Homo-oligomer: A and B are copies of this chain.
């Protein structure tokens, strides 16, 4: 296994399968991580993340202008639920249960063991942020675990099931990504 950079023009594909994510951020030496199911794509180079007003991570994003969207996998699902159920505001040692690491180019914490990571630079928009809790970000860095995402494609079929992406429903219920199929497809834009 190794963590490889993803070409920026294909990084959107990490999110296009619709996984549940975690958002991390850092400001003034303080790191935090939250669970996030409401993260979408804005075309092939931008991300839109819903970060509610009660989220401690939101302050770090507002101050630093950056956030990381990462894609946890089946073996991390308990950690995702833990992150989603606890706030740094009430549980300041929250992050001791969420192992973090850094890449050289960015002073931003990444969650260990995920399948992919996207660094997003906030494109400020007061109305979206204040009225709708939406933070748009340009994708400025990306990496993947090359066992499951390489050459711009997810390739789950020959990897352990515990590395599959997770897709949250509600109340602790989730689905892993499943069986792959490939159509011969001529005219597409991808």
Residue ranges of A at the interface with B (Cβ–Cβ < 8 Å): 10, 13, 16-20, 37-43, 46, 48, 50, 52, 74, 77-78, 81, 84-86, 125, 127-128, 132-134, 136, 152-154, 156, 161, 164, 167-190
Contact = CB atoms under 8 A, between A and B. Distances in A.
Contact of A132 (B46, B169, B174, B189): B46
A40 B41 contact: yes
A125 to B, nearest CB: 7
A60 to B, nearest CB: 20
B188 A84 contact: yes
A42 B132 contact: yes
Q: Chain copies in the assembly?
A: 2
A186 B85 CA distance: 8
A183 B81 contact: yes
Q: What is the predominant secondary structure among interface residues of chain A facing chain B?
A: mixed
Given A17-B18, A167-B17, A169-B17, A179 B175 contact: yes
Given A42-B50, A133-B43, A172 B178 contact: no
A123 B186 CA distance: 36
Contacts of A154: 169, 173, 175
